[in-house]
Amino acid sequence: MIHIEPTLELLGKPNRMLTIRALKRTQDQFPAIRCIGLYGIVLVVNKGGTAETRPFRPLFTGQKGLFLFFTGGIIMDKKLTYTFIGAGSMAEAMVAGMINSKLFDREQLIVTNRSNVERLQYYKQQYGVKGTNNLKDALEIADVVILAMKPKDVTAALESIKPYLTEKKLIISVIAGISTKSIEELLGLKIPIIRAMPNTSATIGQSATAISQGTFANHNHEAIAKRLFLTIGTVSIVDEDDLHAVTGLSGSGPAYVYYLVEAMEKAALDLGLDKDVSKELILQTIIGAAEMLKSSPKHPSVLRKEIMSPGGTTEAGLSVLEQYKYQEAMVQCIKRATERSKELGAEIENIMMKQ
Ligand SMILES: NC(=O)c1ccc[n+]([C@@H]2O[C@H](COP(=O)([O-])OP(=O)(O)OC[C@H]3O[C@@H](n4cnc5c(N)ncnc54)[C@H](OP(=O)(O)O)[C@@H]3O)[C@@H](O)[C@H]2O)c1
């Protein structure tokens, strides 16, 4: 059972010190505070499974300044139970992330699949989480149901779980290409759904995940999903329509980087560098550049220009990339992947609705 409790807290004038003091007080109260913002949502995550989000917004503005209050919020007074429908690689990445984060207990997680019993035993051995094919047991106790099967299996999976779902449960879907509307229609329930688009780096806890709300989901459901996906990387909130672009950008994104690395490896070998040495150099170059992008306030084009000196090596190299229209190729690549996501989504949903 999830309790949603409204909260109200007058903070006073929003001078920087006062706001920071107020946030500090929240931090003292909730030691594992995850994310704070000056204006926006404060997500408070306690060790041991309770969490609270506190959006805060201006109460009124006047000559003497602006008062802020915390409003809304969610208090979970019991540890939620998360049941995975599907026990493949995406489910495993999420289970591993949740267990490793120590924000969730093993007892909170249940994994089910269609028929692969060995796979469920593997989850038990590797993560200590319960695996079962008894859907009734796995779902009646569930607060959150995670759909983690391939798109072609959605119709059958939804049919089999439908008898055990209620509108009080939250569904989180990681299935590519299937809209929340289709799931709502197939289930025939006014059930809250959060749709997520993680990427393969989830397996090492480094996914760039985007999430969006279905018709019946609210910011509290979003907070539950956000907390979960934060254990496997970063989380961005987007409109569902934008998930196609997200798929083209960060869903397929790791492959673009691997492709770049393949080309760099080929060049290194052509130039006679040792394979292991070049691997280390390429890897650290990419990690270093990514860290630089993360920590520096400078735009990538500024960072690039800082490496280029007139008549130097970088300028010479990049002029070849320009000649081959590298940037234009990347832009078209992401646009085409986005388009393909739309095409595949429509194809999948067509098949699904006919099933
Ligand atoms: N892998 C990624 O990096 C990634 C990234 C973004 C999104 N996704 C999405 O995540 C979803 C899962 O992908 P995956 O790579 O984890 O797939 P996967 O490794 O093939 O696993 C699919 C799982 O679904 C189960 N399943 C199939 N039909 C079922 C049914 N009717 N009822 C219950 N369980 C059923 C399978 O069970 P059995 O083994 O018993 O058949 C299996 O455990 C896909 O929709 C994909 O679009 C994946």
Q: Is residue 221 part of a domain?
A: yes
- The amino acid present at 120, given as its one-letter code, is L
Residue 145 near ligand 1, beta carbon < 6 Å: no
Query: What three-state secondary structure class fits 192?
Result: coil
Bridge-based pairing state of the strands 65-72 and 7-12: antiparallel
Structure tokens at 212: 């969006």
pLDDT at 79: 84
Query: 176 in ligand 1 pocket by Cβ < 6 Å?
Result: yes
349 in a structural domain: no
Indicate whether 246 belongs to any domain: no
Residues 61 and 155 in one domain: no
Q: Specify whether 125 is located in the same domain as 268.
A: no
Answer whether residue 127 is part of any domain: yes
pLDDT in tens, 114-151: 999 999 999 999 999 999 999 999 999 999 999 999 99
Is 329 within the bounds of a domain? no
Cα-to-centroid distance, 83 and ligand 1 (Å)? 14
Residues 229 and 278 in one domain: no
Q: What is the CATH number of the domain that holds 285?
A: 1.10.3730.10
Domain membership of residue 32 (yes or no) is yes
Give the integer Cα–Cα distance in Å for 290 and 307. Answer: 15
Other Cβ atoms within 10 Å of 206 Cβ, number: 14
- In-domain check, residue 353: no
Q: Residue 275: CB within 6 Å of ligand 1?
A: no
| Cα 151 to ligand 1 centre (Å) | 8
Look at residues 183, 184, 178, 193 and name the one whose alpha carbon lies nearest to residue 244.
178
Rg, the chain, Cα only:
23
Choice from 83, 85, 90 to test ligand 1 binding pocket (greatest atom count within 8 A of CB): 90
Same domain (yes/no): 219, 162: yes
Q: Return the residue matching tokens 């055990």.
A: 164
Q: How many Å apart are CA 286 and CA 294, to the nearest integer? A: 12
Ranges of the chain with pLDDT below 50 = 1-51, 56-77
| 206 C-beta closer than 6 A to ligand 1 | no
Q: Are residues 156 and 47 in the same domain?
A: no
Residues for the chain: how many in total? 355
User: Would you say 143 and 166 are in contact if contact means Cβ atoms under 8 Å apart?
Assistant: no
Q: What is the pLDDT, as a whole number, of residue 119?
A: 98
Give me the residue label for tokens 């969730």. 104
| 184 belongs to a structural domain | yes
Instruction: Give me the pLDDT at residue 69, please.
Output: 36
| Centroid of ligand 1 to alpha carbon of 327 (angstroms) | 34
- How many folded domains does the chain comprise? 3
Check which CATH number belongs to the domain holding 182 and give it: 3.40.50.720
List all residues 6 or more positions away from 90 whose beta carbon is below 8 Å from its beta carbon.
Answer: 148, 174, 198, 202
Report the alpha-carbon distance of residue 132 to residue 231 in Å, rounded.
24
Nearest-atom index, ligand 1, CA of 177: 47
Q: Is the CB of 29 under 6 A from ligand 1?
A: no
Under a CB-based contact definition with an 8 Å cutoff, are residues 228 and 98 in contact?
Answer: yes
- The reported pTM is 0.79
The whole domain housing 301 covers 253-324
User: What amino acid occupies position 131?
Assistant: G
Is the domain of 211 the same as that of 285?
A: no
Bin 205: left if φ > 0, else alpha if -120 < ψ < 50, else beta.
Answer: left
